Structure 1
Amino acid sequence: MKRKIAVFAAVILIAGAIFGGGFFGGFEYGLTQTRNIVVQGVSNMDEGNPDADFGVFWEAWQTLKDNHIDAKKLADQDFIYGAIKGLVGSFDDPYTEFFNPEDSEKFAEDLNGVFGGVGMEIGIRNDQLLVVAPLKDTPAARAGILAGDMILEIDGESTSGLNVQAAVKKIRGEPGTVVKLQIIRESWSASREFAVTREIITVPTLDMEIKDGNIAYIQLYNFNENANPFFYRAMVRASEEDAEGVVLDLRNNPGGFLEVAVDLAGWFVERGAVVVSEEDARGERKPLQARGNAALLDIPVVVLVNEGSASASEILAGALRDLRGVKLIGEKTFGKGTVQQIIHLADDSTLKITIAHWVLPKGTIIDKNGLEPDIEVKLTEKDIEAKRDPQLDRALAEIKKEIEKARAQL
């Protein structure tokens, strides 16, 4: 094993190439399209194309303008934005969204990693708004909010029918102000109110420590643009301290840039291995291959996951299991596995459109399915209150077994 660690260190020390971003939480970047479209009140102008009747649209437009009691309070552009939201809503897809220019600016704050709020990723499952993951050292985490908690009300208003964009807008506010969240948890018989004080949120990236003398324990909180250089530094330290195994903790990691997940996989699997494929509406697949140095190819690894592990976390965890047989320990993951493309429109508004879903190397579709752990270990509220972590304890026990196996093969 010492020989392997020496090689591990040598490869790491020359592995300084950091690949650029390109995806965030399944969002595809690099495509900005400006479109100027002139639409006239013409019905079925093209013969043989009876699918769309814009005459009905303009008739509804004018009828609302002429008769609605609040019509004068809305500018024509607000009508346009409302119509676009209607188009988006027709897909019944919580991840396909429209952002007007003001909301687009708030959306960009998410991508930059600093914003005012309570510090949790939210999503929709079975038409219910819920917490995907609370972020480390944030008001939500300190308040005791957990992954999987269902949000019933925000400041006394029901979340029924509310999309993610609208919910985020309600939860955010000035730092120092309080938002009241009515939350129900599967283990509770009744909902409870959480009064959470908003703060400026800075999303953390990674923590690393050496456990039991020879295990690199890496907590990766998201896949932002800093994850790759931070991971590199963590591996340099691991090599300096003669680490013989890695516990990669992806619990409560809601995702981030997809290409970062693919690049991190390149530390663990052979260069050129297909980490994940995008499958579009036509069934065509675009493979994304590992481009790294495979410095950890022979190093024992286990991965911790839970319901807060989503998106890019599920890709990395699933790829390591499919390509290397790495054990997943903890609880079933969230099940967010679609690709959203970002299109910037002419007035700085934005469309986020689901264009594909992800398929793991062995054909597993993540979306709405999630990943079942190889070793299920629950983390209860009593564990959290007592500051116990049976999931981490099991992961450490398993990695020690893997290290012993690796030593026996030398």
Structure 2
Amino acid sequence: MRKEPLKYLALAVVIIVATGGAYYLGFERGLDETKNIVIENVSNADVPEGESISFSLFWEAWSKLKEEHINSADVNDQDLLYGAIRGLTEAFGDANTVFFTPDDSKKFNEDVRGNFSGIGAEIGIRDGKLIVIAPLKNTPAETAGLLPGDNILQIDGKPTDDLTIDEAVKLIRGELGTTVTLTVMREGWSGSQNFEITRANIQVPTIEWKLVEGNIVHLKLFSFGRSAPLDFQKSMVAALVDGGDGLILDLRGNPGGLLDVAVSIAGFFMERGEVVVTEKFTSGDNTVLRSTGNGALKDFPVVVLVNEGSASASEILAGAMRVNNGTKIIGMKSFGKGTVQQLETLSNDSTLKITIANWLLPDGTLIEGNGLEPDFIVEITEEDIAAGRDPQLERAIQVLKEEMAK
């Protein structure tokens, strides 16, 4: 339809005049009705030395909210303070930097009392959405059918839009044998679906392996727990004795674990002293973590499988192998989780969990938010899963055979 520029121009003039008049009247009234803001029940409100910002705007907003909000009687000064601190953490746009009140700090730090359990899924926040990074092997989450990349919209009916990861974990965790209902949206679905999952004690296996195609070792590493390096060594010795001539290292659905374990396993594939990962800190200082292994498998034909559920230590290992050895990666882009957090206890036993460092691959690539792009992108559909097909593994076998033939 043809626009009417004169009409819109006239409307704009009217709006500007009206707005200008309202501003002028408000300004005149403000001059006549100026007042000082008195903040009660607040101590130690001085601006820290070296900070030049004026907090007058903050106290003005504080005063207005307490005076005029319809629910101001239900919110005490301590709640306002905690809310303001949460606002500070949210300003960084980092889901891993969070504030815990004293009560939440106690729950976060203490050993869980009683029989409390979970569903066995690693979760994270990506683009403001609560995402399943990976359902862990042989857990209620895997049995229920959760997949990497699933968007959790609600937990027992509570929207997840404004939840931190730790708040979501508290809601999902519960007493052994009780249920939690997750409302989930998955790519390709026309609408969300509910998953009712029974909580259980979670025990995740470290490694499974078998020979495929006669002489190819398909080794699944499910987590980077403390026993993983020794389990990996034992598994590879057994596989080689059984005739393994090449390795598919399957890190799909592995959400990570201990950093030093990833560095230790990398030592099987790299010469001693090669860079595995660098921690880049806020101060500008770097900590370089190097291989300390014997490189026993450095010249052994290897490919790596990853998917959206491969995160953290998985990305460090796979990325270091590709940078240092040219190892091919097959599957889907990994999650992109590569930061280090530190807990700082505040004066009233509340706590800040602060991201203090990024992980960089040996070539300087930032893992956080980027993930690893496979050399060979292969999707796996729900139909494939239902039919027992694994096109990613099939492509990995093909690529590994080409490597073995060189």
User: Following the alignment from structure 1 to structure 2, what is the Cα–Cα distance between the partners of residues 182 and 272?
Assistant: 47
Aligned CA-pair RMSD: 3.1
Structure-2 change in CA distance of 1:106 and 1:244 (3 Å): farther
Which AA in structure 1 matches 2:46? S
Q: Residue 73 of structure 2 aligns with which residue?
A: 69
Q: Residue 124 of structure 2 aligns with which residue?
A: 123
Superposition deviation, residue 388 in structure 1: 1.1
User: Following the alignment from structure 2 to structure 1, what is the Cα–Cα distance between the partners of residues 376 and 120?
Assistant: 29
Superposition deviation, residue 199 in structure 1: 1.3
Within a 5 Å distance, the mapping from 1:23-62 to structure 2 comes to 40-44=43-47, 46=49, 49-51=51-53, 53=55, 60=62
Structure-2 change in CA distance of 1:323 and 1:136 (3 Å): same
Which AA in structure 2 matches 1:355? I
Give the match's secondary structure for 2:261.
helix
User: Following the alignment from structure 1 to structure 2, what is the Cα–Cα distance between the partners of residues 257 and 146?
Assistant: 23
Contact 1:43 1:53 in 2 (8 A): no
Which AA in structure 2 matches 1:385? A
Give the match's secondary structure for 1:133.
strand
Structure-2 change in CA distance of 1:284 and 1:176 (3 Å): same
Higher RCO, 1 vs 2 (CA within 8 Å, ≥6 residues apart):
1
User: Following the alignment from structure 1 to structure 2, what is the Cα–Cα distance between the partners of residues 315 and 390?
Assistant: 24
1:324-379 Cα shifts (integer Å, max 9, x gaps): 01010111111112222234567765432111212212222221111111111111
Give the match's secondary structure for 1:303.
strand
Q: Residue 4 of structure 1 aligns with which residue?
A: none
Structure-2 change in CA distance of 1:329 and 1:83 (3 Å): same
Q: Residue 165 of structure 2 aligns with which residue?
A: 164
Structure 1, 315-324 or 176-185: larger mean CA deviation: 176-185
TM-score normalized by structure 1?
0.79
User: Following the alignment from structure 1 to structure 2, what is the Cα–Cα distance between the partners of residues 141 and 135?
Assistant: 6
Structure-2 change in CA distance of 1:402 and 1:106 (3 Å): farther
User: Following the alignment from structure 1 to structure 2, what is the Cα–Cα distance between the partners of residues 343 and 203?
Assistant: 30
Whether 1:379 aligns to 2:383 is no
Q: Residue 317 of structure 2 aligns with which residue?
A: 316
Structure-2 change in CA distance of 1:105 and 1:239 (3 Å): farther
User: Following the alignment from structure 2 to structure 1, what is the Cα–Cα distance between the partners of residues 81 and 111?
Assistant: 25
User: Following the alignment from structure 1 to structure 2, what is the Cα–Cα distance between the partners of residues 308 and 45?
Assistant: 43
Superposition deviation, residue 136 in structure 1: 0.9
Structure-2 change in CA distance of 1:367 and 1:56 (3 Å): closer
Contact 2:124 2:131 in 1 (8 A): yes
Q: Residue 220 of structure 1 aligns with which residue?
A: 221
Superposition deviation, residue 241 in structure 1: 2.2
User: Following the alignment from structure 2 to structure 1, what is the Cα–Cα distance between the partners of residues 88 and 140?
Assistant: 35
The percent identity for this pair of structures is 52
Structure 1, 193-202 or 306-315: larger mean CA deviation: 193-202
Structure-2 change in CA distance of 1:325 and 1:45 (3 Å): closer
Which AA in structure 1 matches 2:94? D
Structure-2 change in CA distance of 1:379 and 1:207 (3 Å): same
Q: Residue 4 of structure 2 aligns with which residue?
A: none
Give the match's secondary structure for 2:223.
coil
Give the match's secondary structure for 1:385.
helix
Which AA in structure 2 matches 1:386? A
Which AA in structure 1 matches 2:149? G
- The number of aligned residues is 361
The structure number with the bigger radius of gyration is 2
User: Following the alignment from structure 2 to structure 1, what is the Cα–Cα distance between the partners of residues 293 and 370?
Assistant: 28
Structure-2 change in CA distance of 1:41 and 1:99 (3 Å): closer
User: Following the alignment from structure 2 to structure 1, what is the Cα–Cα distance between the partners of residues 159 and 347?
Assistant: 34
Structure-2 change in CA distance of 1:218 and 1:57 (3 Å): farther
Structure-2 change in CA distance of 1:64 and 1:187 (3 Å): same
Structure 1, unmatched stretches of 5+, are 1-38, 406-410
Contact 1:306 1:331 in 2 (8 A): yes
Which AA in structure 1 matches 2:131? L
Which AA in structure 2 matches 1:180? T
Structure-2 change in CA distance of 1:282 and 1:45 (3 Å): closer
Give the match's secondary structure for 2:201.
strand
Q: Residue 402 of structure 1 aligns with which residue?
A: 403
User: Following the alignment from structure 1 to structure 2, what is the Cα–Cα distance between the partners of residues 347 and 320?
Assistant: 45
Superposition deviation, residue 308 in structure 1: 0.6
Structure 1, 130-139 or 339-348: larger mean CA deviation: 339-348
Q: Residue 8 of structure 2 aligns with which residue?
A: none
